[in-house]
Structure 1
Amino acid sequence: MSLHKHHVRQDEMVLDPAFDGGVGTIPKHRLPRGTQDARAALRFVQDELMLDGNARQNLATFVTTWMEPEAAMLIQASLEKNIIDKDEYPQSAEIERRCVNILANLWRAPEPTGGADAVGCSTTGSSEAAMLAGMALKWRWRARREAAGQDAGKPNLVMGANVQVCWEKFARYWDVEARLVPLEGATHLTAQQAAAACDENTIGVVAVLGSTFDGSYEPVAEIAAALDKLAADTGVDVPLHVDAASGGFIAPFLDPQLPWDFRLDRVKSINSSGHKYGLVYPGVGWVLWRSEDDLPKDLIFSVDYLGGSMPTFALNFSRPAAQVIAQYYVLVRYGFEGYRRIQQRSRDIARFIAAGVEKTGRFSLLSRGDELPVLAFKLGAPESYSVYDVSHELRSFGWIVPAYPMPEGMEDVDVLRVVVRNGFTFDLAEAFLADLAKSMERLAGRARASVAFHH
């Protein structure tokens, strides 16, 4: 018998004989020639997915990894619904409208006149929301410049070097200069830095309520005050956008006295991720504007081929209604007090882990969960191993903990970051700290063995 008869090409995968229905192999990069048995195909894909990390041990992502079974049932029952088809699915559209108004109330937006709705929409996430908010800033700036007979060809957007990459994408895609302010003496943008970077071509300043690098809030109220002073002193009137991708569902519940939202007149728009601390599976985001005047009408399109004339101002067209419906479920299910308890528990667990990390004596904390339920920490003293080694060692216990350099201005600092989300428990936190201690002992033991070997 020829051995080549049983050879499997590298671009093919062998199916379990008990499930393959006589097929034997599945090509990786082209369609199979025939149809597969449904159960065999299911088993095949499930076996592939076994290689993914464990979501409960994923301390890297800000994205929701656990929802109640009832929420999963709603999502399953809504998978076929397209949120853009507002005429076909009017109640899904109504649910989106309610969510926008709930968030407007939560973020202290002024009451619309004449009983109108708040101005905003759902998106696939904060990246799309940021694009929409950035476009509105650019369009309004350009209209002001053109009305004054001034050049509108060199727009810039001011933000700290710690912004999420979606803002750099926005600047590149829409031909806007990204003025990324290096970090100096703080892990985020300061009010003085923001105002100093602005000029007559600045379309806006982005303040981040919850940095992805260390979980810290930027001083939104101080930035707003600095921009107010800039306008009074120079006439350069720069609007403020708040990227509250994570903090928009934390600060209203845990820091209600903190002025960061539409209470500040300078804040013209806010984005947030429903699929982060909004407690919804990916992907859903939200963007809201202070008033109709802050969303240029040129960005709103009327679509009349879906059964009725419908306004739309999202980048994506067809997209799932399921996550919007799930967002409404958790808003109704938990209410203000439920959200407060869930987010407080996450913050308490983050602080617990921070205390445990500090207790090892091996690390220095950059943040300890006092704002977002996030902590970032670096090695406290030079070691023969790095935070990247620690991250790799933790992976052997199943923990996914990212290691990375801080942004420009602090790029010589390498950190580990732990993100605590709903579904993570004190028991899991204790297990993580125990495995962190074991990881450090392993690394220290290897370092000692290496020194002994060389001697």
Structure 2
Amino acid sequence: MLVTYRLPSSSSTQPHKRHAVSAASIESLKNRMCGRTATNQISELEIFVLQGSVPYQEVINEDGHEDLLKYWRGNEKTFPTLSMMARDVLNIQASSIVDWIRAERRRCGQPEINEEEDENYNEILSKERKTRPDSDRIGIGIGTGLEQVPPDPTPPDPTPPDLTPPPSLVSPRPRQIRPAKPEPGPLARPSLKLVPGVKKYIDAEKKKIVDKLQASGNRDGWRTELPRSGLGDKVLEQMKYEKQKDVTWQGKCSGTVFAHTNPLHLSVFPSVVRFEAEVVAMTAAILGSKEKASGGQICGNMTSGGTESILLAVKSSRDYMKAKKGINKPEMIIPVSAHSAYDKAAQYFKIKLWRVPVDKEFRADVKAVKRHINKNTIMELGDLASSYRICFHVDLCLGGFVLPFARKLGYPVPPCDFTVQGVTSISVDVHKYGLAPKGTSVVLYRNREIRKHQFVAVTEWTGGLYVSPTIAGSRPGGLIAGAWAAMISLGFEGYLENTKEIMEASKRIQKGIQDIPELFVIGRPDMSIIAFGSDVVDIFEVNDVLSSKGWHLNALQRPNSVHICVTLQHVPVVQIFLKDLRDSVQTVKENPGPVHGGFAPIYGAAGKMPDRVMVQDLLVEFMDSSC
């Protein structure tokens, strides 16, 4: 068999010398691709076939066969990718990499690929689906520096082929520097696991390393749920005890400690590692991780706040769906009432965002969501997620430490945790109703397979191997410890009692607003956030009058309204708030018009502007002048 290749004609105006690969080399390669056991070594030639690139080698191998690698030179040209090797060089009639691997399995007497369970099958398939004719990636190779051309119509010369490397590969001409290409993530690189027989060996070796790491980080005795009763001030004694396990770092750590703890360095601050792990586990337990319906694999990490938690959940969902379904143009569906952090995620991660209407009670409209689901959808809200096998994120940043306890108290709160089939991730702020220091949130995932797409691992940095779980590199260990202390000191009963007081105060405020004739409550609040508007007075002017009395509420739009988020601080002042609200409504009713220094004119004008780009520009100018 004779296979001829030539360099792309764009590189030179001179005619290109054709060069051949003997049948003996190809047969030798094919034989080595089969019959492998887990203990066999993987040759450089096989690595070349898998990855499409290896260092330059001599023409003759140790076994005396001419080497295919003599037609490749590092940093200049790349040999055909695996899919081309399967179809052409190896002379296997396969239309794809998957078909080639199937053929090799059958030839070796190995079982067929289980398409439902084999993660490598899905990985290969997703890579093939995203291949484009104009792409510089074909199959799982890294480019196609050699261009295949039809063989000569004339009969081949029976004389032995010229084994001298072509001048274009050995001449001392200046190297052509190609523009740097973005480095693929760790889960997007070509993998030796894609070859039959190799995956089992690699997985076994990886398991040994993981088992060793887990053994060195024994977590026996660590908390996995809130204590029934809070420890109160005793939590400080336990924190001091855990702190003693940290490395004595004064003057002995390179660039790890400048003034405070940094959980990026796990081995130096084991106390912070434990605090974070227990915060995540206790939060997960609140949201159903102990229930059978959750699957028992809930995991997560702490972040700086709700926005970062949502960003990470969206990023992980995007990359997970790309790996599983080959989605390259992701879309996300949210109700118009969803937090603007989703807009930020869509801008950051290049995701098309669909905002669907809400129903008359301002809840997500399931029918509207369903109409927007297509093959590119990666996230949506509702029970549709499980049936369409797409990701479903629940934003519990505000309600994560209230709604589960409200259900325990008998309030008619719909389920919104991991017991709901189809939920793949949840964001919860510990620094809100969890009463932890500002800058502490948790993002949770149904399993580790999804969470792995949150991490960033870098192997080629000259500074060493690097891996980070969240967007931030360095993080403040003090905030993590503060979140742990808040949860341990309050305990389950503490949060339950807090929720009882907050919910009772919320119901009193809701009834008080409904008793004011000029106002109406928007929707049907399940928790402690009550939005209200008016068809009689300008609600933004009412808000400005309330501000002059010392109250600071949140202005909303579509429809124009104001909301109060009830916390423990409001419990003793419910009647004072309702009195000031009634007086403010009466003031605006008797003296309509903007309050000096108020924001009613701004909100009113913004709501009436048809050009939302102009409103966006005004917001950017405001932020620019404030920073």
Q: Same fold (TM over 0.5)?
A: yes
Q: CA deviation at 1:158?
A: 0.8
| 1:288 alignment partner, SS class | strand
Does the C-alpha gap of structure 1 residues 445 and 72 become closer, same or farther in structure 2, counting only changes over 3 Å? farther
State the partner residue of 1:391.
543
* Aligned match of 2:300: 120
Q: Structure 1 CA distance, aligned partners of 2:350 and 2:516?
A: 48
* Distance in 1 separating the partners of 2:496 and 2:590: 43
Distance 2:320 2:355 in 1: 21
User: Match for residue 423 of structure 1?
Assistant: 569
* CA–CA separation in structure 2 for the residues paired with 1:177 and 1:98: 36
Higher share of residues assigned strand:
1
Change over 3 Å in CA distance of 1:359–1:265 after alignment to 2: closer
Taking the TM superposition and a 5 Å limit, the aligned residue runs for 1:267-282 are 267-282=423-438
Q: Which residue of 1 aligns with 2:340?
A: 165
1:397 Cα deviation after fit: 0.7
Structure 2 CA distance for aligned equivalents of residues 284 and 336 of structure 1: 19
- CA–CA distance in 1 between the matches of 2:347 and 2:421? 28
**Distance in 2 of aligned mates of 1:447 and 1:422:** 33
Selected match of 2:365 from 166, 179, 190: 190
SS of the equivalent of 2:492 reads helix
Alpha-carbon distance, 1:264 to partner: 2.1
Residues 1:300 and 1:265: Cα distance change in structure 2 (over 3 Å): farther
Closer, same or farther in 2 for the Cα pair 1:355/1:129, shift >3 Å?
same
Question: Cα gap change, 1:164/1:298 in structure 2, threshold over 3 Å: closer, same or farther?
Answer: closer
The residue aligned with 1:40 is none
The reply to whether residue 347 of structure 1 matches residue 347 of structure 2 is no
**Does the aligned pair in 2 maintain the 1:367–1:374 contact within 8 Å?**
no
Amino acid at match of 1:91: S
Percent sequence identity over matched residues?
A: 22
- Alignment equivalent of 1:143, drawn from 323, 334, 352: 323
Deviations 1:152-192 (A, max 9, x none): 33210111111111101101110000011122433131222
Shift of 1:110: 6.2
Distance 1:125 1:172 in 2: 18
Tell me: CA distance 1:298–1:290, structure 2 relative to 1, closer, same or farther (3 Å): closer
Q: Is 1:440 aligned with 2:595?
A: no
Deviations 1:311-334 (A, max 9, x none): 531001112222221221122112
Assess, with a 3 A threshold, how the Cα gap between structure 1 residues 394 and 71 changes in structure 2: closer, same or farther: farther
For the structure 1 residues 93 and 124, does the alpha-carbon distance in structure 2 shift closer, same or farther, using more than 3 Å as the test?
same
2:509 pairs with 1:371: no
Q: Which has the higher contact order (CA 8 A, sep 6+)?
A: 1
> What TM-score comes out, normalization by structure 2 length?
0.50
Matched with 1:13 is none
Do the aligned partners of 2:405 and 2:495 also contact (CA within 8 Å) in 1?
yes
Residue 118 of structure 1: how far off its partner (Å): 4.6
Residues 241 and 270, structure 1, Cα contact 8 Å, conserved in 2: yes
What is the root-mean-square deviation in Å for CA atoms of aligned residues? 3.3
> Which residue number in structure 2 is paired with residue 292 of structure 1?
448
For 1:287 and 1:172, how far apart are their aligned partners in 2? 20
Residue 308 of structure 1: CA displacement?
Answer: 11
Taking the aligned partners of 2:356 and 2:322, their CA distance within structure 1 comes to 23
Provide the secondary structure at the position in 1 that maps to 2:522: strand
Query: 1:140 Cα deviation (Å)?
Result: 1.2
Q: Counterparts of 1:399-410 in structure 2 under 5 Å?
A: 399-405=551-557
SS in 2 for 1:271: strand
SS in 1 for 2:328: coil
C-alpha displacement of 1:354 = 1.4
Instruction: Name the residue aligned to 2:282.
Output: 102
Shift of 1:304: 13
- 1:334 and 1:109 map into 2 onto residues whose CA distance is 20
How far apart in 1 are the matches of 2:287 and 2:454? 25
Highest Rg: 1 or 2?
A: 2
Inter-partner Cα distance in structure 2 for 1:321 and 1:187: 39
- Counterparts of residues 302-317 of structure 1 (less than 5 Å): 311-317=467-473
Change (3 A) 1:289 1:444: same
Q: Does 1:199 align with 2:345?
A: no
The size of the alignment, in residue pairs, is 337
2:274 paired with 1:129: no
Q: Tell me how far 1:373 sits from its aligned partner.
A: 0.8
| Distance of 1:358 and 1:312 partners within structure 2 | 50
Per-residue Cα deviation, 1:125-172 (whole angstroms, up to 9, x for no partner): 0111111111111111111233xxxxx332101111111111011011
TM-score by length of 1: 0.67
Q: How much has 1:372 moved relative to structure 2?
A: 2.2
Kept in 2, the 8 Å contact 1:279–1:422? The answer is: no
* 1:274 partner letter: V
Q: How does 1:193-272 map to 2 (within 5 A)?
A: 193-205=368-380, 207=381, 223-224=382-383, 226-228=384-386, 231=387, 236-256=388-408, 258-272=414-428
CA distance in 1, matches of 2:415, 2:348: 32
Shift of 1:286: 0.4
Q: 1:85 aligns with which of 255, 265, 282?
A: 265
* SS of structure 2 residue aligned to 1:398: coil
| Runs of 4+ in structure 1 over 6 Å off | 69-74, 302-305, 307-310
Given that 2:318 and 2:378 are in contact with CA atoms closer than 8 Å, whether structure 1 keeps it comes out as yes
**Cα contact 1:110–1:262 (8 A) shared by 2:** no
Distance 1:394 1:304, change over 3 A: farther
Query: SS where residue 531 of structure 2 aligns?
Result: strand
Secondary structure at the residue paired with 2:552?
A: coil
Contact 1:159 1:179 in 2 (8 A): yes
